[in-house]
Amino acid sequence: MSQEKRITLGITGASGAIYAVNLLKNLTVHYQEVHLMISDAARIVMATEIDLKLPEAPQKIQQLLTELCECSSDVIKVYSKENWYSPVASGSAAPKQMVVCPASMGCVSAIATGASNTLLERAADVVIKEQGQLILLPREMPFSTIHLRNLLTLSEAGVTIMPAAPGLYGQPESIDDLADFVSARVLNHLGIDNQLGHAWGYKR
């Protein structure tokens, strides 16, 4: 269990919905509160890639994901993109850890420039200014020079840039194995021991 026991998760419209859902399931195991924001584009991608059709209302999304993750009803807290009264919008109340998975290049650009046009972007800005831990999992191929400059700006600000690029040395047998690898690396950086994958040089 994380020492703070609270974390923020942002899910944007980049490809990689399976990574987001896999990570969410694992975060609900290790944290007492997961503050969640899902962009409209992310809902479209989820329906397209993993046939997960999320409703529009945050409360209904919260109920559906709580059932999917098989966690207590008070763990996942879903906010709309304009809920500026939510805890994640303020440095005095926001969790000190946040992950954006997957992170679209539009979201990366907004965070890098401090745009804060949506609650997700504001939440990331809060974590950076409060010197917390922000992890971004960008999903794009190839990266343009603009993308790389934005990612460099964020890295220089202390953000961990962790592309969703699962290792193959574990001889994965399914897409779920690849998603487990990515979640394991994120959990490791959050300071959480886990058994999702194995380190290089160790067999299963």
Query: Would you say 104 is a known binding-site residue?
Result: no
Query: Would you say 174 is a known binding-site residue?
Result: no
Three-class DSSP category at 102: strand
Query: Would you say 14 is a known binding-site residue?
Result: yes
Query: Would you say 13 is a known binding-site residue?
Result: yes
| 86 DSSP assignment | S
Distance CA 42, CA 48 (A): 10
Distance CA 164, CA 162 (A): 6
Query: Would you say 20 is a known binding-site residue?
Result: no
Query: Would you say 169 is a known binding-site residue?
Result: yes
Token duo for residue 177: 């194995």
Query: Would you say 15 is a known binding-site residue?
Result: yes
**Binding residue numbers for dimethylallyl phosphate:** 169, 185
**Binding residue numbers for FMN:** 13-15, 39, 139
**Binding residue numbers:** 13-15, 39, 139, 169, 185
